[in-house]
């Protein structure tokens, strides 16, 4: 028998809150993109797909929540049967089945977002693209495996011991491949960060952007612990608990996927303001250009050094002093 660890109002309030937060961040992200007049890219489509999956999942959970608690009340003997009980139970099963794949669709879309973001940074590094393709294939194969496990984990009404064990196994499998793929994606740009010729503080800031996937890993760990440890061997995980943590994890994943864009625009804006203020009333002898870096503008230098190493150039640098302001006569 299932146990509800949160009330129906708490589940629905969580859904509304995560929808509002994630939607605000996504809208702000794309507003900044249009404000900066940047064209849409593949990774932007991944963000939209993740957000769409999250919205569909959360709305479905909000709609089905009253049915979940009504069926639980009947199971506990608190209320009697009603005319549409069987159709309501079937509706609930269909929603949770579909929402499981929507959850994975949202999470895996964020993985694709980071992969395509890193692809533009790694495509000129010798030997790095083979690792990128390896991680991409791993993500695709594990997503297919998660979908297959969802189809095979439950038979009929998910009421047997076999169904309970299979659902727990599917839960832990999806968690394992979710966390492993996030870690693999975070490791991809490690060589790039190490090779950057930047001050330590700027290296740390770039590494922090690359390590945003850590938040997704932490949320996956929290979710599987909260769900898995409260389901014994003879029962399926609590439906309300699945909905509660699924909306939280997917909503945070969408927000995390939007953060790099804010970091990039912040660095560019900071760079522009510093450049403008540096030339107001200051002679060339008093100004020393300084370099800055933006995540989306990291790339490799096409020339090779004498040792055969490939250099990396930090884009978005402060422009050279204009000749008419150079002070030379």
Whose CA is closest to 213, among 245, 248, 242, 255? 255
Integer CA distances (angstroms), 207 to 10, 94, 162, 187, 196, in order: 36, 42, 44, 10, 11
Residue 289: per-residue pLDDT: 43
**Would you call 80 exposed, middle or buried from its count of C-beta atoms within 10 A (0-12, 13-18, 19+)?**
exposed
Name the band, by pLDDT with cuts 50, 70 and 90, for residue 250.
very high
Q: Examine the pLDDT at 185 and tell me if it is beyond 60.
A: yes
Name the segment(s) of the chain with CATH classification 1.20.1070. 8-260
Give the H or E element holding residue 113: helix 85-122
- What would the mean pLDDT of 139-146 be, rounded to a whole number? 95
Task: Look up residue 186 and give its two tokens.
Answer: 């975070």
Q: What are phi and psi of 311, to 5 degrees?
A: -80, 165
Q: Are 186 and 119 in contact (CB under 8 A)?
A: no
Q: Which CATH number fits domain 8-260: 3.10.290, 3.20.20, 3.40.50, 1.20.1070?
A: 1.20.1070
Q: Examine the pLDDT at 311 and tell me if it is beyond 80.
A: no
Mean pLDDT comparison of 37-41, 255-259, 279-283, highest-scoring range: 255-259
User: What's the mean per-residue pLDDT of the chain?
Assistant: 78
Q: DSSP assignment, residue 303?
A: E
Instruction: Output the CA angle 74-78-81, nearest 5 degrees.
Output: 40
**Would you call 71 exposed, middle or buried from its count of C-beta atoms within 10 A (0-12, 13-18, 19+)?**
middle
Torsion, CA 37, CA 42, CA 47, CA 51, rounded to 10? 110
- Greater pLDDT, 46 or 236: 46
């Amino acid at each position: 028998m299932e146990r509800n660890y949160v009330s129906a109002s708490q589940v629905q309030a969580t859904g509304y809150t995560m929808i509002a937060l994630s939607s605000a961040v996504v809208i702000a992200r794309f507003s900044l993109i249009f404000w900066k007049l940047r064209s849409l890219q593949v990774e932007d489509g991944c963000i939209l797909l993740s957000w769409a999956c999250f919205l569909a999942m959360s709305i479905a959970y909000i709609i089905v929540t009253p049915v979940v608690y009504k069926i639980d009340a009947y199971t506990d003997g608190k209320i009697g049967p009603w005319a549409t009980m069987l159709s309501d139970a079937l509706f609930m099963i269909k929603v949770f089945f579909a929402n499981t794949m929507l959850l994975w669709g949202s999470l895996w879309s964020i993985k694709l977002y980071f992969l395509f973001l890193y692809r533009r940074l790694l495509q000129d590094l010798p030997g790095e693209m083979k690792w990128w393709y390896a991680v991409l294939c791993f993500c695709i194969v594990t997503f297919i495996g998660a979908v297959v496990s969802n189809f095979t984990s439950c038979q009929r009404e998910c009421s047997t011991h076999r169904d309970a064990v299979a659902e727990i196994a599917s839960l832990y499998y999806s968690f394992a491949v979710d966390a492993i793929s996030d870690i693999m994606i975070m490791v991809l740009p490690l060589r790039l960060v190490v090779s950057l010729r930047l001050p330590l503080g700027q290296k740390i800031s770039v590494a922090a952007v690359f390590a945003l996937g850590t938040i997704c890993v932490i949320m996956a760990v929290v979710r599987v612990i909260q769900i898995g440890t409260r389901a014994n061997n003879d029962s399926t995980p609590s439906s309300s608990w699945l909905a509660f943590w699924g909306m939280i994890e997917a909503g945070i994943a969408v927000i995390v996927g939007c953060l790099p864009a804010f970091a990039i625009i912040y660095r560019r804006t900071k760079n522009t303001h510093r450049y403008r203020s540096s030339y107001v009333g200051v002679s060339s002898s008093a100004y020393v250009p300084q370099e800055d870096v933006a995540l989306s503008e990291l790339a490799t230098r096409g020339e090779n050094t004498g040792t055969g190493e490939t250099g990396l150039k930090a884009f978005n640098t402060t422009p050279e002093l204009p000749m008419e302001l150079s002070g030379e006569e």
